[in-house]
Amino acid sequence: ADWRDKPPVGVPASHCVNLGFTFTGLETLVSDDTALESFPDAFREGADERAEGRAGETGNNHPDRWESSLRGKDAHAIVSVYADSLDELEDVLRDVLERIDGAAKELDRFHANRLDGKDVEHFGYEDGLSQPTIEGLEPRVGLDDPFPRVPAGEFVLGQQAQPGHPWEPMPEPEHLGRNGSFAAFRVMSQDVAAFHAFLATEADRTGIEPELLAAKLCGRWRNGEPLMMRSPGDPPDHVPRDERNVF
């Protein structure tokens, strides 16, 4: 089947392709200045221009230390490819690249995988627990989210949002933004060894058991349970277990 064909309703997709444009990319496609000016300032300016003054990214986090492909105005679009297996990923990616051959030049490629096939991030915390369930969609498999459903308009332009929202007005004309969304693509370095060393040092200094200290820093235990679910009388190394994963 063509990778662009959606599976029947109720059948999970085994791969997904998303396309996003930078503001520079839109400038090459849209000639209407009024339409371009209708996009939010943060999107129009770009991450590197806002780094020092607005985001406080200085020193080791300064744009001068970023991947060269993520600086400046050279990048016009980003294609995100997800798949259930590496073989399928390569097949879909090959087809995508063949289709855009001659129309665009690949500047860079970034790979990402689930760690050891598990939904656990680098510091050992269960991942994905804080993602809300969108109104009208089924909850993610295996996660029983006890919180109210969130309107799609909180994430997707042109859809119903919570009262007082959306945060930004729709770009004009409407078809430039409807059913789209704004996203940030960032590459971060995570120093796991430094995190564990910090826990060991500060646990000795404060007298707080390292795992409890880690939970206090992150607001949850590594298994996803909120820190607040731990009773004051529990032993210092006690990790609660509530099957709801309510973080």
Contact between 22 and 8 (Cβ < 8 Å)? no
Checking phi first, is residue 111 left (phi over 0); if not, alpha (psi -120 to 50) or beta? beta
Would you give per-residue pLDDT tens digits along the chain (247 residues)? Answer: 465 677 887 788 889 999 999 999 999 999 999 999 999 999 999 888 998 888 888 998 999 999 999 888 899 999 999 998 999 999 999 999 998 888 899 999 999 888 877 778 889 888 776 677 888 876 565 556 667 888 988 888 888 888 877 667 789 898 888 889 999 898 888 899 999 999 999 999 999 989 889 988 988 888 777 777 666 666 656 666 655 445 4
Q: Can you give the pLDDT at residue 148?
A: 81
Of residues 217, 221, 214, the one with CA closest to residue 247: 221
* β-bridge partners, 17: 81
Q: Can you give the pLDDT at residue 102?
A: 86
Of residues 143, 176, 141, 179, the one with CA closest to residue 158: 179
Contact between 115 and 82 (Cβ < 8 Å)? no
